[in-house]
Amino acid sequence: MTPLTRHDILLMMPEKTIESIAVRRLDILDEQGNADISLLSPLSAEEIRKMYASLVLARTFDQRALHLQREGRIGTYASILGQEAAQVGSAFALGKSDWVFPSFRETGVYLTMGYPPHQLFQYWGGDERGMVSPQGLNIFPISIPVGTHIPHAVGAAMAAKYRKDPIAVAAYFGDGGTSKGDFHEGFTMAGVFKSPVVFLCQNNQWAISVPRERQTAAKTLAQKAYAYGFEGIQVDGNDIFAVYKACRDAFGKARSGGGPTFIECVTYRMSHHTTADDATRYRQESEVEAWKERDPLLRLKRYMEKQGLWTEQYRQETEEGAKRTVDGAVRTAEALPPPHPEEMILSTYAELTPRQAKEIEDF
């Protein structure tokens, strides 16, 4: 009998229709402050004011952290300037029982969830006690290595599913993270096991000095989800309403057993990658200037003005309140006694390992 060739085998296989993929793009609030009411999630006037106040707090903290770093009072810091809407909008959609796995640029998520701001200053000042999450806040420590926390988030989501715990897990990372092996491994597991996880990519156009077009040839990052068997959606990451709606829907889907979602928030890193970087060496100032008009705070302010939700008194109270909060956090962080060496490892595991116990004895 003549052996079958690969061509013969392919001819014997039944024909399959390849499903066409169209990535949805969600935009609600434009740069002039106009919103598509038919898409706008039901948010009260008080909730919208709270959103704006959270944006202001995040930016105020960010600016103070940059100043403290330049004064030598904290270490290297990663600015969130320009990315506040992607962080605050997504955090607003989280439930109290949901779990969060952040990267190193999620200050706005921490603050919106109610994380003590003085602990964030502690952390960036080199004190690991700053990452001991208070009771009632299900947020993991900052992940400095790019993308390594993505499989951790998927694992937590799989555990929740096995336990029939109706929660969602959020994993935050940047466009650079989509080039890491951890990204593909995590997405594979999430798709196969339909884990209740929402992947949130803040596509800020730059992975340190590597531009978006050198990260991938794909037209969008969101479309990558379809290769792993679940939905990807792209949103305007500077549109807080679009981010909130996309995340609210995705978290609800995860909690109800609908599986994972990948949300690409298209935004821009207005500042340097970190305070150890000089972005002027690899990008044009004209590019930065073009994004300033898309500022998420300016956009929401214009909307609130058109809706009669904005007054000068409200602006002043919001900005002064944020400044008092940040000033108090700095004072608290800097007044704390220095940590004991053993505190570096006390919160690593639920129980000390024999090796850790021995190390503590030796301190």
CA-CA distance, 145 to 2, in Å (whole number)? 55
Return the closest-CA partner of residue 170 out of 227, 87, 229: 87
Catalytic residue among 118, 273, 294, 299: 273
CA-CA distance, 356 to 139, in Å (whole number)? 24
Tally of residues, the chain? 363
Q: Is the torsion defined by CA of 273, 170, 252, 55 positive or negative?
A: negative
Catalytic residue among 67, 70, 214, 282: 282
Instruction: Check if 115 is active-site.
Output: no
| Amino acid letter for position 286 | S
CB 112 within 8 Å of CB 86: no
Structure letter (DSSP) for residue 35: B
Instruction: Check if 273 is active-site.
Output: yes
Return the closest-CA partner of residue 60 out of 33, 88, 38: 88
Element of type H or E holding 264: strand 261-266
Catalytic residue among 64, 118, 149, 269: 269
Instruction: Check if 269 is active-site.
Output: yes
> Which residues are known to be catalytic?
269, 273, 282
